[in-house]
Amino acid sequence: MKFDTAYSLALDEKLSIYDVRELNFDETAAFDSDKDSFLCPNNECRVAFAAGNVLGTFNAKNVNYRRTPHFKNTPSTRHIEGCRYASRKAVAGESEDEREESFPSEFVLTRRQYERKTSALGTEGSAALDPAKTSSNTIGTSHSAGDITPDKTSVFAHPVECYVSNIDDKDKLKHMPLKIGEHTATYWTFFKKIEYLQDNHGLIYWGRIKAIKDYTSSFRIDFEKKVWLDKKPYSVNVYLNKKLIESYRKRKAFLEQIKAAVDSERPLYCFFYGVTPSLKQVPSKKNPEQRFGVFSADIENLDHLIIREAPGLEAAK
């Protein structure tokens, strides 16, 4: 049994496993999922048991994962009768379904703010009266996104995992709605292979990585596939400014990800949102007098870029 969300005892709210990963990797957040307790998201079920009746996490801390992260029952987790999370107990050696089944209907472009509640359990209504305490316990610095429900996510990895793990079920991807900014489409439409980036602006582009170059001030990700324009093929790449990475709140995790990618022998894919590579004329290295065309873009927000393995995409080719 997979859980779409779990109740975090430390934050006193429901989180997706992708929220948990965000918090684990966020160097500005005093959060460690190993020190938190995750409980059944069904309120009725949760209050029926003591706080020690916890769920387990899978891939909550692994930067480079292949299998879908999730919350799961432990062998000792109990549920009330009728709880929809009670259907199956985890048993040793159980092979979990690999799919992400919880499709957020909206990818929210501003980061969710996770607030650590200051009140003790059971003193509802008196929470957060001390402003000094409140601010020191607030995790994250972005605006308050109080309207985020489990149906929305601000973690890019979540819709990407939905797409990657369900790539063999095109009908599902073509039916599942996804809203980003002002645009509503389906998962299938929003994810665009990099070689077709001229079809439409403002999509999630993805493609297999050909190489990652480590330059003094930036990384450059080269895609394997080329874009065709006027019957001519053009290379596609995106640049990641190292200053951007240095000031990134998930700097360590990001560097771990990209450094592993530079040396990786396995097929890797890059997904990004927010910029559309466009045709640029750049000087040739061998002969600076000469210029050649390349589709290129500078990544502006590292939250909206992922480098990962995607065995399903490999098989679906």
Chain residues in the site for Zn ion (CB under 5 A): 40, 42, 45, 79, 83, 85
Nearer to Zn ion, 5 or 166 (CB): 5
Q: How far is the CB of 209 from Zn ion (least distance, A)?
A: 41
Q: How far is the CB of 73 from Zn ion (least distance, A)?
A: 9
Nearer to Zn ion, 78 or 220 (CB): 78
Q: How far is the CB of 219 from Zn ion (least distance, A)?
A: 44
| DSSP E strand stretches across 166-309 | 177-180, 183-186, 191-193, 204-214, 218-223, 227-229, 232-234, 236-241, 269-272, 278-283, 291-298, 305-308
What CA–CA distances, in Å, run from 171 to 4, 167, 177, 236, 285?
21, 10, 12, 29, 46
Nearer to Zn ion, 83 or 109 (CB): 83
Task: Give residues with Cβ within 8 angstroms of 285, minimum separation 6.
Answer: none
Contact criterion met (CB below 8 Å) for 153 and 106 = yes
Alpha-carbon span 259 to 54, nearest angstrom? 35
Q: How far is the CB of 57 from Zn ion (least distance, A)?
A: 16
Nearer to Zn ion, 14 or 250 (CB): 14
Task: Give residues with Cβ within 8 angstroms of 224, minimum separation 6.
Answer: 207, 208, 209, 210
Task: Please give the single-letter amino acid code of residue 177.
Answer: P
Q: How far is the CB of 104 from Zn ion (least distance, A)?
A: 22
Q: How far is the CB of 41 from Zn ion (least distance, A)?
A: 8
Q: How far is the CB of 52 from Zn ion (least distance, A)?
A: 14
242 φ, ψ to 5°? -70, -25
Nearer to Zn ion, 57 or 296 (CB): 57
Nearer to Zn ion, 1 or 162 (CB): 1
What pairing do the DSSP bridges indicate for beta strands 55-58 and 38-39? unpaired
Alpha-carbon span 56 to 53, nearest angstrom? 10
Q: How far is the CB of 35 from Zn ion (least distance, A)?
A: 22
Nearer to Zn ion, 73 or 257 (CB): 73
151 Cα distance to chain centroid: 14
What is the DSSP track for 20-49? Answer: HHHHHH-TTS---GGGS-EE-S-HHHHHTS
**HSE (CB half, 13 Å, CA atoms) of 212?**
23
Nearer to Zn ion, 42 or 153 (CB): 42
